[in-house]
Amino acid sequence: MSHERPSLTAKKIARFLILIDAVPRFAGLLPADAATTAEAILRASGAVGRRHIDMMRAPWTQRFYEIAEAWTARGQLVWFGLRKRWMSDAVEEAIAAGATQLLVVGAGFDPLATIIARRHPKVTCVEIDAPATAAPKQEGVRGAGFERTNLHLCAADLSKRSLGEVLRETPWRSDAQSVVVAEGLLMYLDVKDVKAFFRAVHEHTGAGSRVAFSYVDGDDAGRPHLGTLDWLIRTSLRLAGERMRWGIRPERLRGFAEEAGLFVVEQVDGEALRKEYLAPIGLPEEPVAAYEYLALMERG
């Protein structure tokens, strides 16, 4: 991915949170405070113009995305909301089970660590992202008044520095029960870097720690494949300089994880998320374009 400017994908996802929040039928889908916190960070960061933020709450923008999805695949927008909700719930459940640290890798403008730091002042929260994205994120958190003593935002290129080296610059404890989040990240890494990431998670977390992440399907060679949305998504990402590199078939994930000393405790697809989150808010038939899978691993 390009490290010369803030990630286009990171900015897009943050704006999508605002758009989802503005769609009446999606009320109750997003984690509490997610959209308002992301919007405040984005506004204070300077990474996105005010006009481009305001437009995400405009009725005509909602209509535009409905038309766009009708021509491509319905349910793309709601997928991002489902992914955010599941990640947030996974973190809260890990904290309830004893985790005292949260690490978000490739955080972008995501509000998760900011919210958790505010909600759980005794939980050490660390974010890591490339400097071009982390710098405006830091400015956004500061400008929005969200700084906390237990929130640490790190600007670091993990292709040049090890995860352990970066964590040593924070209060992170490698022996503490923790929860790690890698949302919308691993598919952009080469397979050797994905393996190195999981080994580093095992090395720098204590027993009972969990890692929640998203991944895409892949062929026998580990090349990503996104089903009916493959050409559309991969083409747009290549144009943005953010090419996908890694994918794995869901049935192979367990063996892949065990190589790093982790074991899979949950794998979730779009249908499961529809039943868990959309049915309770009256949307049991809402289309979900789930081009990813979500997974939870635990360290023994």
Q: What is the pLDDT of residues 8-19, one digit of tens each?
A: 889 999 999 999
Residue among 167, 140, 133 nearest 152 (CA): 167
Question: Computed from CA positions of residues 235, 183, 220, 197, in that sequence, does the dihedral angle turn out positive or negative?
Answer: positive
- pLDDT at position 220 is 75
Q: Cβ distance 249 to 218 under 8 Å?
A: yes
- pLDDT at position 300 is 83
- pLDDT at position 290 is 86
How many angstroms separate the CA atoms of 181 and 89, rounded? 12
- Predicted TM-score (pTM) above 0.85: yes
On the question of pLDDT at 241 being above 90, the answer is no
- pLDDT at position 198 is 96
Q: What is the mean pLDDT of the chain?
A: 91
- pLDDT at position 233 is 59
DSSP 269: -
3-state secondary structure at position 4: coil
**What pLDDT digit, counting tens, does each position of 115-173 carry?**
999 999 999 999 999 999 999 999 999 999 999 999 999 999 998 999 999 999 999 99
